[in-house]
């Protein structure tokens, strides 16, 4: 599977330092990943989490997003396990994608999705991310915009996609 649970590749941000809306999104993505590998009963926890946040449909949208990323991605996408406090660059990119759709400035989101997924899957993922972003926003869960690197990166070792930095 291209979605990989990891304990490496963390950047300077720490999970507890994120706003609760961003913690919720990462918690959900990490639990989804863990439930697919080790504990299918965790899907019930996810459903209950979204229900408690008054976003029952959010679970289904997240499931479609994560399924696309885990079955269609052309490269590995690294997410931490739920017990770790660091945040991977890919997790920041996922938050950045959601933020882009919440603000209506979607160009960088589409660039990352096209880097991760084949064309048709990237379009489908874009629709799902847009729906997820709007549902989060409608329920007061705003995701902060990231400061995106220009294409090609500012540093020779930077990824080709516009990965975010937190400021």
Per-residue model confidence as pLDDT tens for the chain (167 residues)? 466 666 655 455 677 788 999 999 999 999 999 887 776 678 888 999 999 999 999 999 999 999 999 999 999 999 998 888 888 889 999 999 999 999 998 988 999 999 999 999 999 999 999 999 999 999 999 999 987 644 444 433 333 444 444 43
* Residues ≥6 apart with Cβ < 8 Å to 91: 26, 29, 78, 79, 80
Specify the DSSP element, H or E, that contains 4.
strand 3-6
CA dist 47 and 53 (Å) reads 10
CB count, 10 Å around CB of 37?
Answer: 12
Global pTM reads 0.83
Which of these, 54, 60, 59, 56, lies nearest to 27 by C-alpha position? 59
Predicted local distance difference test score (pLDDT) of residue 45: 87
Instruction: Tell me the two tokens of residue 6.
Output: 């990891």
Predicted local distance difference test score (pLDDT) of residue 8: 57
**Phi/psi at 45 (nearest 5 deg)?**
-60, -40
Structural domain of residue 122, as residue ranges? 3-165
Q: Identify whether the C-beta of residue 137 lies closer than 8 Å to the C-beta of residue 70.
A: no
Tally of domains in the chain? 1
């Amino acid at each position: 599977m291209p979605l990989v649970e990891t304990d490496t590749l963390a950047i300077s941000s720490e999970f507890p330092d994120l706003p609760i809306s961003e913690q919720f999104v990462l918690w959900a993505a990490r639990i989804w990943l863990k439930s697919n590998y080790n504990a299918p009963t965790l899907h019930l926890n996810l459903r209950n989490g979204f229900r408690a946040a008054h976003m029952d449909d959010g679970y289904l949208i997240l499931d479609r997003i994560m399924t696309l990323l885990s079955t269609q991605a052309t490269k590995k996408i690294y997410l931490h396990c739920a017990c770790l406090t660091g945040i991977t660059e890919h997790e920041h990119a996922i938050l950045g994608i959601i933020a882009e759709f919440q603000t209506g400035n979607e160009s960088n989101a589409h660039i990352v999705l096209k880097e991760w997924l084949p064309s048709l899957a990237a379009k489908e993922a874009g629709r799902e991310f847009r729906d997820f972003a709007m549902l989060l926003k409608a329920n007061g869960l705003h995701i902060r915009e990231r400061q995106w690197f220009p294409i090609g990166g500012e540093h020779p070792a930077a990824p080709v996609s516009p990965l975010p930095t937190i400021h």
